Amino acid sequence: MTESLLLKPAAPAQLPTGARRFTGRTALLARLCALDGGEVAMLTGPAGIGKTSLAVHWARRAAGEFPDGQLFVNLRGFDHVAQPVEPADALRSFLAALGVPARRIPAGLDERAALYRTEMADRRAVVVLDNATVATQVRPLLPAARNCVTVVTSRNQLTGLIVREAARPIPVPPLTIAEAAQFLGGYRPVIEQCGGLPLALSLVAARTGEPEPPGRGGDPHAGARGVFAWTHRALTPPAAGIFRLLGRHPAHDLTATTVAGLAGLTVGQAAVILAELARAGLLIEFVPGRYLCHDLLHTYAAELAARYH
């Protein structure tokens, strides 16, 4: 009894920092707000469309409705360098965040999932499962609790979750012209080049006042690549070199210490370069001092690394 009281955890708050610029998505936010306890929402759409930003923005805004915790994991289902996160590893992280001592965390996946459901049973919490690739990666992480809401993001239609768990599919479309113009603080010709992709628009917003990037209409990702190239060319040579270097390494949890080790820099030099890449929109500082690179940008960095090698 004494140990239980001493070990009673504070509510975990794992949500990353929200997008610096967020606009539109009114109808999608309303659908998320309408979710009942125990439901699962599945945000789907192509890379760069803003699924993660939408999920995190809603979850942070609704955090007061989930006083017993907010859990978040990037499952890295589409990372071209690092392996996807195994459900057993995600469960170990969740259980630790929920205050379960390491010695009490079982070794097996099924046992961990059962303990996780037990720990979540009486909680009012939100769970965000980001970048899932298949239903089997998600299923053990569903809390199955009457007062919990789960939001899954994926580029794939996870039909198994719809059939077995009655997940609510919510397709995420590109931003409209009006939403994109609001995102940039006014109309700019580059909006159509970005194809309504928030990722590309955020790179343009980071360099407001500079010449427009080249782009091509039609394919949104073709226009986005033009924005990527323009942003890369605008970097200082040291930052451009580090960005290309990151294309050869996992870029889901970067710190000044890790980058210094990769590039042979001092920690101070690496910190300055990471800050520059974040200002340019090429990295996201999801918690102070820790950065990640969007999958689409990481793929582009890898292409640059091969070209410059």
**Cα separation, 222 vs 110, whole angstroms:** 43
For residue 239, which phi and psi values (nearest 5 degrees)?
Answer: -70, -40
Backbone angles phi, psi at 187, to 5 degrees: -75, 135
Averaged pLDDT for residues 101-128: 96
Claim: this prediction has a pTM higher than 0.95: no
Q: What is the pLDDT of residues 66-89, one digit of tens each?
A: 999 999 999 998 876 778 999 999
pLDDT at 3 (0 to 100): 45
What was the pLDDT predicted at 5? 44
Model pLDDT, residue 223: 65
271's tokens? 């910190």
Return d(Cα 274, Cα 31) in angstroms, integer.
36
pLDDT of 215 over the 70 cut: no
Sign of the CA dihedral 97, 98, 101, 105?
negative
Which pLDDT band, with edges at 50, 70 and 90, does 102 fall under?
A: very high
Q: What is the pLDDT of residues 224-278, one digit of tens each?
A: 778 888 889 889 999 999 999 998 888 778 999 999 999 999 999 999 999 999 8
* Interval 24-33: pLDDT, tens: 899 999 999 9
Percentage of residues in the chain with pLDDT exceeding 70? 89
Tokens 């090698």, residue?
A: 309
- Bigger pLDDT: 21 or 247? 247
What are the chain's domains? Answer: 2-171 (3.40.50.300), 177-308 (1.10.10.10)
